[in-house]
Structure formats: C-alpha cells, structure tokens
Amino acid sequence: MKALKQYIPFCRASIGKRELAAVARVLRSGWLTTGPRTAEFEEKFRRYVGANHAVALSSCTAALHIALAAKNIGRGEEVITTPFTFASTANVVEHVGAKPMFCDIEEDTFNIDAALAKEAVSEKTRAVIPVHYAGHPCDMNAVNAFAKRDGLFVLEDAAHAVGAKYENKNVGILGDAAAFSFYATKNMTTGEGGMLTCADGALAERAKRLRLHGLSKDALKRYDKKGSWYYDLTEAGFKCNMTDVQAALGLVQLERLRQFNRERARLAALYSELLGDVGGFTLPVERKNVERVWHLYPVLVEFMERGRFVEEMAAEGVACSVHFIPLHLQPFYAKKYGYRRGDFPVAERVYDRVASLPLYPTLGEAGVRKVVGAIKRVKRRRA
C-alpha cells in the first residue's frame, strides 16, 4: 500500500503573523488574565452575532454549564438534547444535577429531530439544547415553537456553527442563549475558549459572576488603577474565565472568520463535486433556509466498513475522524440510564457509517484532490 508523500492532518488552525503580534502585545502589556482585551472581544463578538450580550469563557463546555446554572436548572429536572454530539453537551446537564433526555436525529442533517423532541417534553422538562451539528443549523422554528408552548429555556449548542445562519438570522440569537467554541479545531480559535451569547441582561450578569467564583468584581475591577480591592462573594461560582491572551488571538481570528468560512465552503463544494463522481458515499446536505459554515465535512461510507475506511485512509497519509459516538452508547450513560443499542436507531445508523474528512482553509484545493485521490485508491482495492 503506497501512502501519500505528504501527510494530511485532520485539522490545522490558521495562525498568522497578526495573531502572533496580537498575543505578543498582550504578553508585553503585563495584563494577561481577564481584562481589556477580553472585554473588547466580548463586545465585537456580540456585535458580530447580533446578540444583546456576550460573556467570554474558558470553553464552550463552560458556556453551556454556566447558562444552565444561571437559570437555576438542577436536581429533579430534565433537559432535552441529542445523543449525537460531543460528551460536553450532556455532561453539563449532569453537572447541574439534571437529567439529559436524548432524542433521535434527522436522517439528512444529523441534527435533533424537533418532532421527537416535542414528544419528549414532560412536566420535569426545563430546557432544550439543540446542537448545530457540523455547522448546519437545526430546525429552530420547530424547536422554538414547542419550547415557547412549554416555557422551556432554549440553549443553542453552537460549538460547530460560528457564523452560520438560519433563515437569514445568525446562530447565537435563535434561542434564549447560545454557547460557542473556539477550540483549536474550530472555524476560529483562541486555542481553548468559548462564548455565551444571550438576550437577557440578568442572565449575562449572573454568568459573569459565576465564571469567576461568584465574585462581585473581576480582576480588572479590582486591580486596575481605577479599581478597588474589595469584593463580595455572592454565591459559590466556578473558575472558567477567558484570559486576555486568548482574547487577543480571538480578536484577530474573528476579523478573519468570514474569509475562513468562505474558503471552507469552497472546499466543501469541491469535495461534493469530486466525490459525486466517485460514488460510494452519502454526502452532506445544506437546506435551502440555512447558510452552514462547514466546520466538518461528514460523509456516510457505503462501500466498506467505516472503521476500516478510516484505517486505510490513515495508511494513505490522510487523517479522518468520527463525529460522534452516540452518548447513549458510552459506558457512563448506558450504565446510569440503561440505554442500549436500538434506543436511537437513526443516530446509531449514522454513527456506524459516518467519517469526517479533513477540512480547513489551508488544506486548499490541492489538499482536497489528494484526499479524494486517496479515497479512490482505497475504493479500487474494494472493487
């Protein structure tokens, strides 16, 4: 088996001279933790999304957690979400003492099936967390309709979807609140980091307190030349604030985000064109009422076993991945709630066949063609 001469990683962040210079300025400034750059990043991200408020945090996981905690969602209550997501979406529900109630997904978008989510509402349900999988927005009109009827808190898991639109509205303002990820693999990055956007000022203010132990003042308000050392501990909060080092990186990445997303869309279109001729895959969709941002390019492998496909692609010098192992099949949730195969058949069918191909701006057209060339070689060996 002859491998590609040049290894193609699954993801590579686009970091340039501007990002390096911005981080260096913060390091030289002497102010490294939450401070003026974080506040600037919050404001510019708020304006980009069109939200009333934005709160910078250490991760998207923290944003999801803080949002639920700030709404006092807890023990004896339920939160509806999808099993076809990363662990954090459900883990944060566990962290506040509530129970994640899984619903199966749509056959085409792999997003939560809003009709099934509607049926899952009980007298214990307090919130719903729709996940915009791979950068394709959920059917938010359907989600909001039953959530409004039942007085539920709608928290968008927008980890994959910074810059996406649903019916010409930005992801991040489609529910009551939204959580974004700036992890190293995302469409824009701060290395680690996240943002909570919301409409409610009281929710935003409580989130700011909860992100730093429940203190009434952050470091800037205590240690800036106009600040005061005194603070009140208002409640038992957490430690998940963003630093100015991260925010400096985020400010430059945010300016480049539209360019990043345009290039991802161009490369995704090229994948679809080339793989359409190859055959053997179910390709990702984009509904007419959305503008997806192609965080992932997930395909369903039809011509061979998915795990073997990923292994053979690796041998060809191409790193693929799998998004995701359904949470109800993971040992923690299966043991705690008695889940088993067959409980969410669509998520299981997708998981058994799904593979994510490399997709990032610096991959370029040549990189896409190399990936497809490797696929062709793998496929020929199956003929």
Which stretches does DSSP call E strand in 199-268?
A: none
Question: Tens digit of pLDDT for each residue in 223-259?
Answer: 666 777 788 999 999 999 999 999 999 999 999 999 9
Other Cβ atoms closer than 10 A to 15: 16
Which contacts qualify for 38-43: CB closer than 8 Å, 24 or more apart? Answer: 38/241, 38/242, 38/243, 38/244, 38/246, 38/247, 39/220, 40/247, 40/251, 41/242, 41/247, 41/250, 41/251, 41/254, 42/195
* Annotation marks residue 186 as catalytic: yes
Question: Tens digit of pLDDT for each residue in 295-348?
Answer: 999 999 999 999 999 999 999 999 999 999 999 999 999 999 999 999 999 999
The first and second tokens of residue 356, run together, are 């994510």
Mean pLDDT, all residues of the chain: 96
Task: Measure the CA–CA gap between 363 and 367, rounded to whole angstroms.
Answer: 5
Q: Indicate the pLDDT class of residue 140, thresholds 50, 70 and 90.
A: very high
User: How is the chain split into domains, by residue range?
Assistant: 17-253, 257-380
- How far CA 95 is from CA of 75, 85, 92, in Å, comes to 10, 17, 5
pLDDT at 383: 75
Exactly one of 186, 208, 370, 379 is catalytic; name it.
Answer: 186
pLDDT at 221: 65
Taking alpha carbons only, the member of 294, 263, 110 closest to residue 185 is 294
pLDDT at 202: 98
pLDDT at 226: 73
Q: Contact at 8 Å (CB) between 241 and 50?
A: no
Question: Tens digit of pLDDT for each residue in 193-231?
Answer: 999 999 999 999 999 999 999 998 676 666 666 777 788
SS3 content of the chain, % helix, strand, coil (to 5): 45, 15, 40
Q: Indicate the pLDDT class of residue 4, thresholds 50, 70 and 90.
A: very low
Place domain 257-380 in its CATH homologous superfamily: Aspartate Aminotransferase, domain 1 (3.90.1150.10)
- The DSSP symbol for 318 reads B
Roughly what angle, to the nearest 10 degrees, separates helices 244-278 and 36-49? 40
Task: Measure the CA–CA gap between 346 and 355, rounded to whole angstroms.
Answer: 15
Region 275-282 average pLDDT? 96
Lowest mean pLDDT among 84-93, 164-173, 220-229, 242-251: 220-229
Question: Tens digit of pLDDT for each residue in 16-75?
Answer: 999 999 999 999 999 999 999 999 999 999 999 999 999 999 999 999 999 999 999 999
Question: Tens digit of pLDDT for each residue in 356-381?
Answer: 999 999 999 999 999 999 999 999 99
Question: Tens digit of pLDDT for each residue in 106-127?
Answer: 999 999 999 999 999 999 999 9
Region 155-181 average pLDDT? 98
Beta bridge partners of 212: 239
pLDDT at 342: 98
Query: Hey, what CATH class is 17-253 in?
Result: alpha beta
CA dihedral 68, 69, 74, 78 (to 10 degrees): 0
